[in-house]
Amino acid sequence: MVSYKELGLVNTRAMFAAAVKGGYAIPAFNFNTMEQMQAIVQAAVETKSPVIMQVSKGARNYANATILRYMAQGAVEYAKELGCAHPEIVLHLDHGDSFELCKDCIDMGFSSVMIDGSALPYEENIALTKKVVEYAHKYDVTVEAELGVLAGVEDEVASEVSHYTKPEEVIDFATRTGCDSLAISIGTSHGAYKFKPEQCTRDPKTGKLVPPPLAFDVLHEIEKKLPGFPIVLHGSSSVPQEEVDTINAYGGKLPDAVGIPEEQLREASKSAVCKINIDSDSRLAMTAAVRKYLAENPSHFDPRQYLKPARDNMKKMYIHKIVDVLGSDNKLLQK
């Protein structure tokens, strides 16, 4: 058993309370590789932002849970080396699907876990979430739960259709489970193809797809039921058109990829939404830079040559999200 506190990590409690009160959101960036980790830490340090580094089941399968945990510990030390005296870094399990997986992560130093029982019947979701909360709270680890189903595909999590969270259930759910934050479904979606073209309208000037707006009425209803309670949005990449265009210009094929417009995420950040999950945008930033570099430098074969621009491009994207979308810059609790 390793406590996350020994690793220099923090849980989400204080940062969420401050974010809800201050009208901003904490970025939750998924990571699988060293370059992503470096870019996340550099961006968080330069902007003086708290940050959640999250690991999905797919990331654990790809990189190995032990390695990712030591990388998170390394991230804390790296942040200090870059001049941040008190880094606020959370290591979070994204979409935990069983008590055993959550327990395993807590025992190896994660400071926050998500238990996603959203596909289960309501009472089973409550029972599973409550079991994880009881274990996690013994070690001061915070727990994110989910009510409502998001559409889209993210690693092993996939659903054809979305079901908005029912506001009438949230008080009962939060009270009976004791969860620390709640992921809700209001129209965000996993992956780089968040909406089918038939769900969108086309901008007459650019011909680009315009996705349907988020259900802010549902969000506001939930906020009224649970005043000040931390709300989480999954599937909140914006799928920047310039990255998609670069990928397609250098041999990729991502027709009609579409994300959540940043204005809507900016608006959500000002509400009780205090954690916004971004994964696809980092994948796109990395792939766009690698494709461009290799196309322009066909004789190069040193991975450092193409991973450096990939890392720089991700860092630029992370800084943009922190400063221009979520507003979490200069929000470290301890200066």
Please identify, among the stretches 25-33, 163-171, 228-236, 290-298, the one whose residues bind Zn ion according to the rule CB under 5 A: 228-236
Closest approach, Cβ 55 to Zn ion, in A, equals 12
- Nearer to Zn ion by Cβ, of 148 and 240: the residue is 148
Closest approach, Cβ 2 to Zn ion, in A, equals 26
Residue number of the CB atom closest to Zn ion: 234
Closest approach, Cβ 95 to Zn ion, in A, equals 6
Could you tell me the end-to-end alpha-carbon distance of the chain, in angstroms, rounded to an integer? 30
- Nearer to Zn ion by Cβ, of 173 and 293: the residue is 173
94 catalytic per annotation: yes
- Nearer to Zn ion by Cβ, of 73 and 269: the residue is 269
Element (H, E) at 63: helix 57-63
Kind of pairing, strands 51-55 and 26-30? parallel
Q: Which residues pair with 28 in a beta bridge?
A: 52, 277
Please identify, among the stretches 43-51, 96-104, 233-241, 257-265, the one whose residues bind Zn ion according to the rule CB under 5 A: 233-241
Closest approach, Cβ 235 to Zn ion, in A, equals 6
Selection from 279, 274, 263, 264 nearest residue 328 by Cα: 274
Kind of pairing, strands 181-184 and 231-233? parallel
Count Cβ atoms below 10 Å from residue 59 Cβ, excluding itself. Answer: 21
194 binds Zn ion (CB under 5 A): no
Please identify, among the stretches 204-212, 227-235, 242-250, 293-301, the one whose residues bind Zn ion according to the rule CB under 5 A: 227-235
- Nearer to Zn ion by Cβ, of 36 and 246: the residue is 36
Backbone angles phi, psi at 90, to 5 degrees: -105, 135
DSSP string, 292-321: HHHHH-TT---HHHHHHHHHHHHHHHHHHI
Selection from 79, 36, 42 nearest residue 59 by Cα: 36
Dihedral angle sign, alpha carbons of residues 106, 92, 159, 116? positive
Selection from 295, 294, 316 nearest residue 306 by Cα: 294
Please identify, among the stretches 78-86, 133-141, 230-238, 324-332, the one whose residues bind Zn ion according to the rule CB under 5 A: 230-238
Question: Site for Zn ion (CB under 5 A): which residue of 60, 92, 234, 311?
Answer: 234
Element (H, E) at 92: strand 89-96
- Nearer to Zn ion by Cβ, of 95 and 291: the residue is 95
- Nearer to Zn ion by Cβ, of 156 and 245: the residue is 156
Please identify, among the stretches 2-10, 22-30, 234-242, 315-323, the one whose residues bind Zn ion according to the rule CB under 5 A: 234-242
Closest approach, Cβ 31 to Zn ion, in A, equals 14
Q: Could you tell me if 275 and 51 are in contact, meaning their C-beta atoms sit under 8 angstroms apart?
A: no
Kind of pairing, strands 26-30 and 112-115? unpaired
Closest approach, Cβ 317 to Zn ion, in A, equals 18
92 binds Zn ion (CB under 5 A): no
Alpha-carbon gap, residue 152 to 239, rounded angstroms = 14
Catalytic residue among 94, 97, 116, 155: 94
**Residues designated catalytic:** 94
- Where do contacts with Zn ion occur on this chain (CB under 5 A)? 234
